[in-house]
Amino acid sequence: MHPDGERVLFTREQIQSRVAGMGAEISRDYRDKDLLIIGILKGAVIFMSDLVRNIKVPLCFDFMAISSYGASTKSSGVVRILKDLDRPIENRHALIVEDIVDTGLTLNYLVDNLKARGPASLRVCTLLDKPASRIVPVEINYNGFIVPNEFIVGYGLDYDGRYRNFPYIMVLNRKVYERGK
Ligand code: IMP
């Protein structure tokens, strides 16, 4: 593990095996449906690229980018669309793919925003769920792992833009984000 980590939460192998399971479940549920995956930039990119290769039905994908925390570990509660979908989702079976649900503020906003566009269905898939820090309730249809209320990086998740490339998920050592204080 990299020295900025406190401990590994999930190894590459554990992640790959869970993602394969999630892909199989989604393949079954969307067998006869025209699936549109909506990936949330940038955190979900690594997870999404592994997930779609484990889904056995033909699908389309698109991306949205929303404002994130910046160089902080706390949610501001302010959600802003930085990049919208390229195409309408009306009458499509849409599945949001997120990296982690923390306060739920981002997802709550996204679900309301996308529902208003008239999809045939809208579900949520997240790799990680951190239920202890939830502020608004959100329905999660597919969840990879439950995680403790700590700051986590790797496999798409970042701190100040870094660590997304790590193939495993680790708890970030506090000294990394307390350095600048
Ligand atoms: P929420 O709006 O608080 O649920 O936060 C959702 C977003 O915050 C996620 O998509 C992540 O980009 C970011 N986030 C929340 N918790 C963590 C974490 O532990 N590590 C890295 N990013 C996080």
Domain ranges of the chain: 5-178
pLDDT score of 102: 94
Percent of the chain beyond pLDDT 70?
93
Quickly count: other Cβ atoms within 10 Å of residue 175's Cβ.
9
Burial 10-44 (b: 16+ CB within 10 A, else e): beeeebeeebeebbeebeebbeeeebbbbbbebbb
Instruction: Quote the tokens at residue 142.
Output: 């597919």
- Mean confidence (pLDDT) of the chain: 93
pLDDT score of 67: 82
Cis omega (within 30 of 0) for bond into 42: yes
Ligand 1: atom nearest CA of 158 is 21
32 is catalytic: no
CA of 122 relative to ligand 1 center, distance in Å: 21
Ligand 1: atom nearest CA of 106 is 2
31 has pLDDT over 70: yes
Ligand 1: atom nearest CA of 157 is 21
> Per-residue pLDDT averaged across 6-11, rounded?
98
pLDDT score of 52: 98
pLDDT score of 84: 97
Residues in contact with ligand 1 (CB, 6 Å cut-off): 43, 68, 75, 98-107, 151-153, 157
CA of 149 relative to ligand 1 center, distance in Å: 11
180 has pLDDT over 80: no
Give the residue whose CA is nearest to atom 16 of ligand 1.
Answer: 102
- CA–CA dist 97, 32 (Å, integer): 20
Q: Options 3.40.50.800, 3.40.50.360, 3.30.70.2860, 3.40.50.2020; which CATH number does 5-178 get? A: 3.40.50.2020
pLDDT score of 59: 98
Contact 34, 57 (CB under 8 A): no
pLDDT score of 178: 86
47 by DSSP, 3-state: which?
helix
Give the residue whose CA is nearest to atom 11 of ligand 1.
Answer: 100
pLDDT tens string 47-101: 999 999 999 999 999 999 998 554 455 665 678 899 999 999 999 999 999 999 9
pLDDT tens string 101-125: 999 999 999 999 999 999 999 999 9
Please identify which of the residues 99, 102, 129, 158 carries the catalytic annotation.
Answer: 102
